[in-house]
Chains A and B, each alone.
Chain A
C-alpha cells in the first residue's frame, strides 16, 4: 500500500489473475516482503496472537452455536448437553470460555505495549482509534457471550449492567426506564433478552473481524513502530516480514497456546465463577455479583462514584478517553524508554489499573471504597493532566541515531542537547 510492489507473477495464469484481482500481490506485499523494524521485542508478537484468539473464538463459537439453544428454559441445559453429549463438546466449550479470557489478556498486553512505546502517536492515530473501537466491541461481545450460559452470574450480570441505563431517569424522568425495557424486550431480563443477546453475540465478532482488517490496513501505511520509536530510515533498519517475523510470531504464539491449554485442560473453571453453574433464577440474587476478571477495573470505576449516573459516565469515559490519547500526550518522543519522568508515571498507571481490578472484585465499602476512589482519581488524573504536563516539561534522555545503531549498540548520536 505504502510501498512499491515487488510482486512478479511467475506463470501466465498468475499474471492473468493478477490483472483481474491482485490479491496474491497484496498478500506478497503485505505479509511476505513487508519491511519490519529489525529490533521488535516479544511484546510486538501480540498482534498475531490476537488474530489467533479471534480465529479460535470464531471457529469454536460457530460449532457451539450448532448445539446451543438460546431459550430461557433450555439454555443452561444445552450448555451441559454440549459438555456431556456432543463429541469434543467439553473441549469446544472450555476453549471458547477460556479463549475469551486469553483474548483479553492478550489485548491488555497489546494496549500496554502501545502505551509504553507511544504507538498511538502520529502518524498512527487512526490505527490507535480503530484499536480502541475493537476493544469496545470485544467488551460488548464478551458481556453478551457470558450471558448465554444463563447461570446465576450470567443472569444477574445482565440485570445489573442493563439497569445502568435506568440512571438516565435522573436526566429525563422515564427515559432510562423506557430504554431498559426496550433492551430487555419486557419488564425484566428474560427470554426475549436472551435471544437478542445471542443474535448480537453472533454478529459482533464479524464486526470485530472487519475492524481488524481496517486496523491492519492502517498499520501497514506507516508500518510498525519499534522500541526506539525511531522510524525505519535505511535498508539495514528493516527485515522482511517473512521469514523473520512469521517465525518469531509463530514461536510466541506457541508459548501463548501452552498457557491457554494449561487453563483449558487443567483449570478450565479457574477464571469462572461457581455461581454460574447454578441455573438462572430471577427470584434469588447472589450475595456478590461480580463480572468476569477482565471487566473488574471498569466495574471498580463505576462503583467508586457515589452518583449512579456519574458512575456510568465515568465508566464509559475511562475507555472513551483513550480515543484522545494521541493528543493528550504532548511529547514529541515516541518511546517511554527515552522519557525518564513519564515512564514512572506510566508504570504507576499500569499498576493502578491492576489495583482497580483487585478492588473491583471486593465489596465497595470501607478501605476498598477509599482506595477505589483514589485509583479512579489517578486513572483520570494521569490521562487528562499528568500526561500533557509531562510532555511539556520533560527533558528526554539521549536516543540512538537509528534502529541499526540501537541494535549494534552504538553510542547515542543525539546527545542531551535540548
Chain B
C-alpha cells in the first residue's frame, strides 16, 4: 500500500504510546490517594501478571484478622469454606471445620418453632461482630467500623493503602488540634481516624518464624484482605496466561494468513 503522511499517523502513534504508558501504569500500581497523602507501593506476591498469594501470609493474615480486626469488622461476603478453597489460605478441611466451629450461628426454626444457636459450619457465611449498624455505632463511640469484604478494592491504592493506614499511626504534628476521641493517622484522608491503632507488636502469636512486628502484621492482614476482596485472583492470572498464549498464537497465524491472502493481489 502507498505510504501516506497525515496527522492520522501521528494520532495513531500517540494513541499507541498512550496505551503503552497506560499498561505500564497498571502493571505497577503506584497510587496516590485523592485527598490524602501519598501511598507508597509495597512489594506484594500477588501483583504483576504472574502474581500469586503466599499461603503462609494469608494464613497469618487470617490469624491477625481473627484475633484483632474481627472484634469490630465483619467479612459478611465470605463463607468459612472459602478459607479452604484453592487460591486462598488453603487451610485443610479439618482446620476449616474447626475455624467455623469457633463461632455461634443462629439457625432454625426447629420443630417447636424456636430459633437456636449452633456451632458454625464451613457452609456458613462469616458472622459479623454486630447485629446491625446501630449496634456497631453504639459500641464504638458513634463511629461505624465498615465491613472489610471488598475493602481492598474500595480504596484508591488497595492493599497499599490498607498497609499504609495500619502503619500510619503517629503523634499528631504540633499545632494540629484533634477532635475528641480521634487518632492521628498519616494515611487517612483528613488524618483523623476514629479507630485507635489496632496492631501491637507480639499481640498475635506467629508460629512460622516470622517476626511478630506491627509491620509484618499489617502486611499479612492487608494481603489477607486483598484475597478476601479478590478470591479468584490466582485463577484469573492462570487462565489469563493460557488465554494470552493462545491469543498471541492465533493472532500470529491470522497475520500470516492475511499476508498470504493479500499477496495474491498485484501491487
| Interface positions of A (Cβ within 8 A of B) | 38-39, 41, 43, 77, 80, 83-84, 90-91, 94, 112, 116, 227, 239, 243-244, 247-248, 250-251, 254-255, 257-259, 261-262, 264-270, 274-275, 277-278, 287-288, 336-337, 343-344, 346-347, 350, 406-409
A244-B262, A266-B27, A347-B7 given; 16 more Cβ-contact pairs under 8 Å: A41-B1, A80-B149, A84-B232, A112-B11, A251-B255, A251-B258, A258-B244, A265-B236, A265-B241, A274-B155, A274-B158, A275-B154, A277-B154, A347-B11, A408-B266, A408-B267
A346 to B10, CA, bound (A): 13
The 5 A-B pairs at the shortest CB distance, nearest first, are namely A265-B240, A277-B154, A267-B26, A254-B251, A251-B254
| A-B CB contacts (within 8 Å), total count | 112
B150 at the interface (CB under 8 A from A): yes
Question: Residue B40 at the A interface, CB < 8 A?
Answer: no
Residues of A close to B8: CB separation below 8 A: 43, 116
Q: Mark B236-267, 1 if CB is under 8 A from A, else 0.
A: 11011101100110110011011001100111
* Nearest A residue (CB) for B231: A84
Question: Within the complex, which residue of B7, B155, B247, B257 is in contact with A344, where a contact is CB–CB below 8 Å?
Answer: B7
A257 to B247, CA, bound (A): 8
A344 to B7, CA, bound (A): 7
Q: Which of A80, A239, A406 contacts B2 (CB 8 A)?
A: A406
Complex Cα distance, B247 from A401, in Å, reads 40
C-alpha spacing A277/B100, complex, angstroms? 26
Tell me which residues from 187 to 246 in chain B have a Cβ below 8 Å from any Cβ of chain A.
Answer: 229, 231-232, 235-237, 239-241, 243-244
- Contact in complex: A337, B6 (CB < 8 Å): yes
Q: Which residues of B contact A (CB under 8 A)?
A: 1-2, 4, 6-8, 10-11, 19, 23, 26-27, 34-35, 49, 77, 82, 149-151, 153-156, 158, 229, 231-232, 235-237, 239-241, 243-244, 247-248, 250-251, 254-255, 257-258, 261-262, 265-267
Q: Is the pair A254, B4 in contact by a Cβ cutoff of 8 Å?
A: no
6 A-B pairs with CB atoms under 8 Å apart are A38-B265, A77-B77, A90-B236, A244-B262, A274-B154, A277-B229
Query: Chain A contacts of B255 at CB under 8 A?
Result: 251
B7 and A268 form a contact (CB under 8 A): no
Distance of A259 Cα from B18 Cα, bound (Å): 13
Known: A248-B258, A254-B250. A265 touches B243 (CB 8 A): yes
Contact among B149, B158, B243 for A261, CB-based, below 8 A: B243
Which residues of chain B are near A278, meaning CB under 8 Å? Answer: 154
Once the chains bind, are B2 and A265 in contact (CB under 8 Å)? no
Q: B153 and A243: CB pair below 8 A?
A: no
Q: Which residues of B contact A346 (CB under 8 A)?
A: 7
* Distance A229 CA – B248 CA, assembled complex (angstroms): 34
Task: For B34, list chain A residues within 8 Å (CB).
Answer: 287-288
A247 in contact with B2 given A287-B34, A343-B7 (CB within 8 Å): no
Return chain B residues, CB-CB under 8 Å to A248.
258, 262
A91 and B153 in contact, given A116-B8, A244-B262, A287-B34 (Cβ under 8 angstroms): no
Asked if B26 and A407 sit within 8 Å, CB to CB, the answer is: no
Q: Is there contact, CB below 8 Å, between A247 and B261?
A: yes
Docked-complex contact B251 and A251, CB < 8 angstroms: yes
Residues of B within 8 A of A267 (CB): 23, 26-27
Known contacts being A266-B26, A270-B26, A407-B267, is A337 close to B4, with CB within 8 Å? yes
Which of A116, A274, A287 is close to B153, meaning CB atoms less than 8 Å apart?
A: A274
Q: Could you tell me if A407 and B1 are in contact, using CB atoms closer than 8 angstroms?
A: yes
Residues on the B chain within 8 Å of A258, using CB? 244, 247-248, 251
Task: Give Cα distance in the complex from A394 to B149, angstroms.
Answer: 62
Q: Hey, which chain B residues are within 8 Å of A261, CB to CB?
A: 240, 243-244, 247
Inter-chain contact A91/B239, CB cutoff 8 Å: yes
Distance between Cα atoms of A116 and B237 in the complex (Å): 39
**Complex CA distance for A259 and B247, rounded to whole angstroms:** 10
| Cβ contact of A254, chosen from B1, B6, B82, B254, cutoff 8 A | B254
- B43 to A: closest C-beta gap in Å: 17
Pick from A84, A112, A270, A336: contact of B77, CB under 8 Å: A84
Give the docked Cα–Cα distance between A243 and B260 (Å).
11
B1 touches A265 (CB 8 A): no
- In the complex, what residues of B have CB within 8 A of residue A243's CB? 261
**With known contacts A266-B49, A343-B7, A247–B258 Cβ distance under 8 A:** yes
Which of B1, B34, B267 is the most central at the interface, judged by chain A CB atoms within 10 Å of its CB?
Answer: B1
Min Cβ gap A105→B in Å is 10
Nearest neighbor of A85 in chain B, beta-carbon distance: B79
Asked if A262 meets B23 with Cβ closer than 8 Å, knowing A90-B236, A239-B265, A251-B258, the reply is: yes
CB contacts (< 8 Å) of A337 on chain B: these are: 4, 6
**Most central of B4, B49, B243, B254 by chain A CB within 10 Å:** B254
In the complex, the answer to whether A255 meets B26 with C-beta atoms within 8 Å is no
- Report the nearest B residue to A343, measured CB to CB: B7
Q: Which of A41, A254, A406 contacts B247 (CB 8 A)?
A: A254
By a CB distance below 8 angstroms, the chain A residues around B250 are 254
Which residues of chain B come closer than 8 Å to A84, judged between CB atoms? 77, 82, 231-232
Cβ contacts under 8 Å, B235 to chain A: 90
Q: Which residues of B contact A409 (CB under 8 A)?
A: 2
Q: Which of B10, B153, B254 contacts A269 (CB 8 A)?
A: B153
